[in-house]
Structure 1
Amino acid sequence: MQSPSIIELNDRARDIFRQIVESYLASGTPVGSRTLSKLGGLGLSPASIRNVMQDLEEMGLLASPHTSAGRLPTDIGLRLFVDGMMQTGEPAPEEQAAIEEQLRGRGLPMEDVLSRTTSVLAGLSACAAIVMVPKAEAVLRQLSFVPLAPDRALAVLVGGDGSVENRVIDLPPGLPPAALVQASNYINARLSGLTLGQAAERLRHEISAERAELDTLARDVIERGLAIWSSDGAQRPVLIVRGQAHLLDEQGTTDLERLRSLLADLDGKEDLVRVLDLARSSQAMKIFIGSENKLFSLSGSSVIAAPYRDAGDRVVGVIGVIGPTRLNYARVVPMVDYTAKALSRLIG
């Protein structure tokens, strides 16, 4: 169904729709015509309100659950409300202060700052909060090869920060043990102190200029060793999730199957990264409501995510929240936006 636009609603339908959505977001329960008539401001009888509610339901903006005569907004209705009717402001001063407090630890590792900021965002929004930043490309200090079998070796990389990672690589046929030693010596003498991308580029340059004193087999080993980390590092962003317990508090025990589905979605890190990548690639805040995103369609959840930038205005990560579709969007959207901008100021 094509989403209707706000201009398709007359003033009466717009007022009734807005009150239904705001009441539902505040209470989490379907809203009936009698309830609306008692709220005041509409000046309409319950029968007149029911007629308009029926029209809104036929447009796909409202739905009527089996257990109630009231109506609640559909995902399409929530999208219309968020895009065309919702008014947002700045986070409350105490919310801004709580966020800024977590960003004052300039001596802390960036991952610790991100973890603390994500935790406070989860607490303020009563949602699960998540932050993603692409894994920084490792700086090469040392790379050595340990033979495991005639066709395999263990590549041991020591990063500039002292981290150690191991990977098993396949070896070219007929490789003599001396070639592994030659490869290690060349890397540690010529490529130490470079990022993996820089090391691969220097290797290609020296080979093309015939300055690399390597035979073909040793060169092949080096290229394999560098390539496995270059691709691996790019595909493993740092992903921090905090506040999953808020989801249990919010949904209670009334829909355990939906809650299990949501928690499973949060554990599917690769799928979650793809969702957040949409905000990073568009370089703007993204709001996904319920079935709009396949990952969260079964759990009926919403995602609000905003990118944050470095001093060069390049997007370096994404921060956001995940919660039920019944979010206080007018409050949470500015909160996520403020947090993303605060991180950008810190990094800049």
Structure 2
Amino acid sequence: MTRQPVSELSARARDVFRMVVEGYLETGAPVGSRTLSRFGGLNLSPASIRNVMQDLEEMGLLAAPHTSAGRMPTESGLRLFVDAMMQTAEPSEQERAAIEAQARGPVEEALAATSHVLSGLSACAGLVLVPRGEPVLRHLSFVPLSHGQAVAVLVGADGSVENRVVELPSGVGPATLMEAANYVSARLNGLTLGEAQATLADEIARGRSALDEAAQGLVRRGLAIWSEDGARRPVMIVRGAANLLDGAAAEDLDRVRQLLEEIEGKEEIARLLDSARGARAMKIFIGSENKLFALSGSSVIAAPYHGADGRVVGVVGVIGPTRLNYARVVPMVDFTAHTLTRLMA
């Protein structure tokens, strides 16, 4: 559906739309014309309000979930409200102090604690995508698999093990596989992947590598596979998933169950958060705008945080139902991101 520009709404339609959205986000229930007529400021009869709400429904901004006159915002309506109409409320002094109190000490502990307090303050699940630690190489070996293939077994200093199938050039036999493994043990053990790749390249360029061309290719390929795989696997901390089981959740258990399964899987949500690394500021994903949340109807608010050199090192955010208090949670996530940036400096 085409996104509706707010400029196309009349002043009356904007007022009614804003009040429906704010009422729905506060209560989680559809908002009826009679309810709106009791609020001050509209000076419209229930019949006039119903007509405006019908127009907004035809625009795809509101929906009637039941046969009653109550309306609730669609995902397109929420997007319009968040992008063009929402008035944010800055975190209170107490909320800022609570966040800042956790952003100290060892980085990983601070990230987990900050995620926990953000979860509590927002009544959502708190998410932090942590800085990627570059693996340190302990061992690389090649196990013949079949003609033309071998398994590269990469062992990190932290005990992690990765197995990847690699294609072997024609003529490469067990002796070459052993030569490549011995070289790694002798020359690259204890180096990060970046350092190992740089050392290999430097020795080849200087003609100092004891490897023949086939073995050089094997080592390069093994390091590249591990490096690429590690770069694709961000690490995510989740805190406060139980907050999603609030009173309103009992009416929509299937949605909540689906959301909890998505969080349990972590990897896809981590990739979604990782896409926020390239953003200069906040990113808000609402419902089925992202296919990951097409079933659960969830929203993610995420903001990148930076290291001492100014580069993005991670992402902090929250996940919850689309019925979030965006005006309060968005600036809270933004403040948390700035707090973590100061921690990393």
TM-score in terms of structure 1 length: 0.88
Q: Which amino acid aligns with 1:76?
A: S
Task: Report the equivalent of 1:208.
Answer: 205
User: Structure 1: where are the runs of 5+ without partners?
Assistant: none
Task: Report the equivalent of 2:153.
Answer: 155
Task: Report the equivalent of 1:139.
Answer: 136
Query: Using the alignment, how far apart are the partners of 1:144 and 1:5 within structure 2?
Result: 57
Pair 1:346 & 2:343 matched:
yes
Instruction: Answer whether contact 1:180 1:218 (CA < 8 A) is retained.
Output: yes
Farther-moved stretch of structure 1 (69-78 vs 200-209): 200-209
Q: Which amino acid aligns with 1:167?
A: N
DSSP 3-state at the match of 1:263: helix
Pair 1:292 & 2:286 matched:
no
Q: 1:241 aligns with which of 227, 238, 243?
A: 238
CA displacement at 1:320 relative to structure 2: 0.8
Task: Report the equivalent of 1:260.
Answer: 257
Query: Using the alignment, how far apart are the partners of 1:258 and 1:226 within structure 2?
Result: 42
Instruction: Answer whether contact 1:171 1:221 (CA < 8 A) is retained.
Output: no
Percent identity between the aligned chains? 59
Paired residue total: 342
Q: Which amino acid aligns with 2:30?
A: P
Task: Report the equivalent of 1:123.
Answer: 120
Q: Deviations over 1:51-74 (max 9, x none)?
A: 211121122111112252211111
Instruction: Answer whether contact 1:134 1:234 (CA < 8 A) is retained.
Output: no
Pair 1:57 & 2:46 matched:
no
DSSP 3-state at the match of 1:304: strand
CA displacement at 1:176 relative to structure 2: 6.7
Query: Using the alignment, how far apart are the partners of 1:186 and 1:223 within structure 2?
Result: 12
Task: Report the equivalent of 2:276.
Answer: 279
DSSP 3-state at the match of 2:210: coil
Alignment of 1:24-103 (within 5 A): 24-103=24-103
Query: Using the alignment, how far apart are the partners of 2:2 and 2:211 within structure 1?
Result: 62
Task: Report the equivalent of 2:318.
Answer: 321
Q: Deviations over 1:62-100 (max 9, x none)?
A: 111225221111111111111111111321111111111
DSSP 3-state at the match of 1:317: strand
Farther-moved stretch of structure 1 (330-339 vs 308-317): 308-317
Instruction: Answer whether contact 1:153 1:168 (CA < 8 A) is retained.
Output: yes
Alignment of 1:330-345 (within 5 A): 330-345=327-342
Instruction: Answer whether contact 1:301 1:325 (CA < 8 A) is retained.
Output: yes
DSSP 3-state at the match of 1:305: strand
Q: Which amino acid aligns with 2:291?
A: K
Farther-moved stretch of structure 1 (227-236 vs 121-130): 227-236
Tell me how large the CA RMSD over aligned residues is. 2.5
Query: Using the alignment, how far apart are the partners of 2:31 and 2:291 within structure 1?
Result: 28
CA displacement at 1:154 relative to structure 2: 6.9
Task: Report the equivalent of 1:112.
Answer: 109
Instruction: Answer whether contact 2:152 2:222 (CA < 8 A) is retained.
Output: no
Query: Using the alignment, how far apart are the partners of 1:46 and 1:322 within structure 2?
Result: 36
CA displacement at 1:26 relative to structure 2: 0.7
Query: Using the alignment, how far apart are the partners of 1:26 and 1:295 within structure 2?
Result: 25
